Structure 1
Amino acid sequence: MGWSASELDLSGVADVDEVADLLRDAEPDASVSLLFVEAVDAYLAIMRLDEGEDLRIFGSDSAFAEESRLGKLLLSDVESPALEIDEEVDDEDKPAADPTVDPVGDADLLADLGVSAHKLLQLCATDGLLPSDITAELCQMIGCGDEVEELRES
């Protein structure tokens, strides 16, 4: 699968359907479109469209919907909670999970691309990781890391 990366301006959108339309318009022929929204060095929202149709959403923390207009816009319709984060840390080298993180939405949205729900939740709960760090790690895992890194540097 070949990936391309582009930046989307979400400043004028009124609802999640408009965000989905922007995502569809960015690459109309894409079989999978992903949008990573990083906010205030604290929150990450991921949106996925398959064949431009089925919208799936994951949010790293429900607090994003409470603390920002964009968070509310992206996550207000997300009702199903994500799976529980494992708070136990087996490896001493891994940072502890942040117990205040409350992920929401479809944690399996990247599973077929090689990122399990468990891995996504683990990354989002890792204390000290910024949303940009999580995005970079996820993009490396699914094979679009170079494209996203190039976009960030431009």
Structure 2
Amino acid sequence: MYFAALLARTEDGWEASDTELDDVETLSDLTELAQEAAAGDADDTVLLFIEQEDVWFGVVRVDGEEDPRIYVSDAAAASRSSYGEILLTDELLGREPGSGDEDDLEDLTDLDGTEDGEPDPDEEDDDGATAGEAVPPGPLGDTRILEDLGLAEKELLALSSDVLAEIAEALGASEVLETVR
């Protein structure tokens, strides 16, 4: 089960809205959704929270027309989620765009018993990592994503339970987030 909410910072404080991610397929879709939530001012800061039942959470921050900033609490867990995969861009994972296994013709034609697309766990890639280690466990992304809003990097990394409520509390937006929960 997922929970997703948008928090937009306006002149009058934070405004929250529950959001459906059914039509979201790419990071561009998420960014557009956040920009639409900017209440009349294209320069407003908008945060998109995505949480999967205390397994992982992600924060996407959009400041006006700038590229989105992303933080994911557990990249390996998020990689097993359709919404998490949207956040785990090639850039965030430190890969060249389009270098994923799904684009590798050799992987599609490999006849060593893994021809159905399953990676061989003993096979090493060019970086010396074995297959299945493509997405690192633990936090990934911009750990300072909320620092200027009142939540330091160290505090973000230490969050463990009821994470979105703790983030909202640090931002002074707990009441507005609770209205959409």
Please tell me whether the aligned partners of residues 61 and 69 of structure 2 are also in contact (alpha carbons under 8 angstroms): yes
For residue 17 of structure 2, give the secondary structure of its aligned residue in structure 1: coil
Give 1:119 deviation, angstroms: 0.5
**SS state of the match for residue 48, structure 1?**
strand
Compare the two structures and name the one with the higher helix fraction: 1
Pairing 1:142–2:171 present: yes
Q: Give 1:112's aligned amino acid.
A: D
Give distance in 1, aligned partners of 2:78 and 2:163: 19
Pick the aligned partner of 2:26 from 9, 15, 23: 15
Q: Which of 148, 155, 161 is matched with 1:119 structurally?
A: 155
Structure 2 partner of 1:38: 51
* Secondary structure of the structure 1 residue equivalent to 2:71: strand
| Shift of residue 150, structure 1, vs aligned partner | 1.4
Deviation at 1:48, TM superposition (A): 0.3
Retained in 2: the 8 A contact 1:35–1:46? yes
Contact 1:59 1:105 in 2 (8 A): yes
Give the letter aligned to residue 170 of structure 2: M
Identify, as 1 or 2, the structure richer in strand. Answer: 2
Question: Displacement of 1:75 after TM fit?
Answer: 1.6
User: Contact 2:74 / 2:138 at 8 angstroms: preserved in 1?
Assistant: yes
- Structure 1, unmatched stretches of 5+, are 81-99
Q: Which moved more, 1:20-29 or 1:112-121?
A: 20-29
Counterpart of 1:72 in structure 2 is: 85
Q: Structure 2: 5+ residue runs without aligned partners?
A: 1-10, 95-135
Amino-acid identity (%)? 36
CA RMSD of aligned residues (A): 1.9
Q: CA deviation at 1:12?
A: 1.7
Moved over 3 A (4+): none
Q: Does the CA-based 8 Å contact 1:48-1:57 persist in structure 2?
A: yes
User: CA shift at 1:41, angstroms?
Assistant: 2.8
TM-score under structure 1 normalisation? 0.75
One-letter code aligned to 2:93: E
Work out whether 1:26 is the aligned partner of 2:62: no
**Aligned partner of 1:138: which letter?**
I
| SS at structure 2 position matched to 1:102 | coil
